Chains A and B, each alone.
Chain A
């Protein structure tokens, strides 16, 4: 165990951990909201995120072209990419709801079969991205769209829009600009969503359905719409997560969602599934502890540290750090 390394680089490890944790947190929102309302693990949410990363990538490629953008232009490109990611992720989330969940909810199917349907949907979505070159080929667009569909099975990376190298120093610690952007925007989004769910009419509907679907329905809450909204909000947040992820990592692949999805789900459970603030806390804690753990035990134990943390937390707090509470009025 390498304590001196951890302590000497504590601030840097914490900030980078928080930045990745923020991405976990934003993805975790999708899991936590769907779970809060339907008590279902939306296994395919990771693919919602993955499509968001590709939307960011493609939008950036389209706008940047070959030249190097500067100043205001960069800002515009970023805004467009963020919008594209949110739209695509939101749309995929809605499609998931329509094709993988609604038929089952209508039949009042057992909960586990919904998990299987979601797993199936997850395979379909990921593999569809993995064979996008063939699919484009069917329409004779393989050559035209080469920038977008080429290398379907390997990493694709963004044109550089923000110089990640920008550093500033707190004392002797180097902090990267992009990490700060990611953390701040994630927290901003979370606060926004939290307020939306707390104050808006739709948010009240979501909370009411989460708490007691039957009574909510009797009180005139349209449950189908509430479920759609839940998926949509989760998808939009995954879109933001995807954009921030691409800003930080700059690279994506058809199966990028799998590992991140597992981690984000872990984060959701860690914070208390069904609890929006829990997702934020869980994500940030997971990101930071992973980094500290990697520093202490070596990078190979990073994921082990994450899962051990989860088990330990659940042993002492069986419903996660903040507990389950999407339905509770005090959300």
Chain B
């Protein structure tokens, strides 16, 4: 996180105590930092084997939930490019996810017999193309109109799948190919008795067998893709493209005036987002081995958006946290049975009200807020009324 080093050291003197921990972390020597990252990654990889008591999900498979979490993380990273970086409100993101999943399903099972690894590149290209096809006419529409147009797009994709026999209609497509397995060695799980972790010799995961009964290898695959995406995301955010997106989001006219071809960059954001969504869909279809249109309801678009916004749109770590919460909380709340959606809705409201900037807002927001406050204080003196009335 070299960027954040420079970013925080600049504002360090003014930053509040909540940044203290981050500061201390970023000031550590580089070697230690790398070590910490590796430890974190190892911990994440080992998580489903550890099954820590409070985190683990009673009532459903922890590995399976973690896989879903990685899919949501992936989707959130992709949607974050569209919503967080480029500022385009997309309510039909599930459409891209569906296109990725359906391409893999059709190529590996329904109409052809391709291996999974060959179908994935085709799937992501197909999604990117669909992103361009959808974006080219609609991205000229501004602001919230885009939201409803994309929402419509997502629904059209789903309804087309429901009503088209070639796409398996409501019956769906089964026997989708799984990733190729390399069976190397077995790793035992832990289980917890009271506060003591115990090794469970009967419960093992084979590295790396993409089988039916064990969800953990899929989680490892998903986590790996998420890590790769994170790196790619960081590269792209700090590049010229990332700055062009930021400029377009903050003030489209000004950006256009400064020579940023905003339409082309919006289209790029849209198709990059679609790419990631398609990849997530492809992984999902392979793990499920069966898909039908019920997995691509409008509700999922909404949940994906919730993940991005609750986590902190524009901050890749924030949206990961958001994705984790949105995918994980309903599973963790299984004990509430009938009430779990209710509780989830309440959680969304509470998060929105108490952390309106998202759980981990991007640094830009913190900086902008601070600068704004200083500006207001300097310009207005005692005109405190203004902020109260403004809606």
Contacts and interface: CB of A to CB of B under 8 A. Distances in A.
Contacts of A123: 341-342, 344-345, 348
Contacts of B137: 311, 315
B306 A213 contact: no
A99 interface: yes
A298 to B, nearest CB: 8
A100 B148 CA distance: 22
Contacts of B356: 104, 107, 109-110, 113
A311 B345 contact: no
Interface stretch (A51-59, A189-197, A240-248, A265-273): A265-273
Interface in A54-72: none
Contacts of B350: 120
B75 interface: no
* Number of chain B interface residues as a range: 35 or more
B346 A120 contact: yes
Contacts of B140: 315, 318
A116 interface: yes
A87 B340 CA distance: 29
Interface in B316-345: 338-339, 341-342, 344-345
A307 B159 CA distance: 11
Nearest to B92: A307
Interface in A104-129: 104-105, 107-110, 112-117, 119-124, 127-128
Interface string B152-168: 11011001101100000
Contacts of B36: none
Given A112-B89, A301-B159, A307-B156, A119 B148 contact: no
B222 interface: no
B149 A121 contact: no
Contacts of B344: 123
A114 B352 contact: yes
B117 interface: no
B153 to A, nearest CB: 7
B240 interface: no
B390 A108 contact: yes
A117 B148 contact: no
A2 B125 CA distance: 36
Interface string B121-150: 000000000000000011011101101110
B336 to A, nearest CB: 10
Contacts of B148: 265-266, 269, 310
A310 B155 CA distance: 12
B212 interface: no
Contacts of A39: 144
B151 interface: yes
A41 interface: yes
Interface residues of A, number: 56
Contact of A117 (B138, B151, B353): B353
A314 B346 contact: no
Most chain A CB inside 10 Å of its own CB: which residue of B147, B309, B358:
B309
Contacts of B144: 35, 39, 41, 269, 273
Contacts of A227: 391
A319 interface: yes
B7 interface: no
Interface string A293-331: 000000011011011101100110011100000000000
A214 interface: yes
A116 B352 contact: yes
Given A110-B357, A123-B344, A304 B160 contact: yes
Contact of B339 (A37, A99, A127, A319): A127
A320 B142 CA distance: 12
8 contacts: A113-B358, A121-B349, A123-B348, A227-B391, A301-B163, A304-B156, A311-B149, A318-B142
Interface of B: 83, 89, 137-138, 140-142, 144-145, 147-149, 151-153, 155-156, 159-160, 162-163, 298, 302, 305-306, 309-310, 313, 338-339, 341-342, 344-353, 356-358, 386-387, 389-391
Q: Which 9 residue pairs spanning A and B have beta carbons closest together?
A: A123-B345, A120-B348, A307-B152, A109-B356, A117-B352, A120-B349, A124-B345, A127-B342, A217-B389
Given A41-B147, A223-B389, A304-B155, 9 more contacts: A100-B352, A108-B387, A112-B89, A112-B309, A116-B310, A119-B306, A124-B342, A306-B152, A311-B138
Interface of A: 35, 37-39, 41, 99-100, 103-105, 107-110, 112-117, 119-124, 127-128, 130-131, 134, 209, 213-214, 217, 223, 227, 262, 265-266, 269, 273, 300-301, 303-304, 306-308, 310-311, 314-315, 318-320
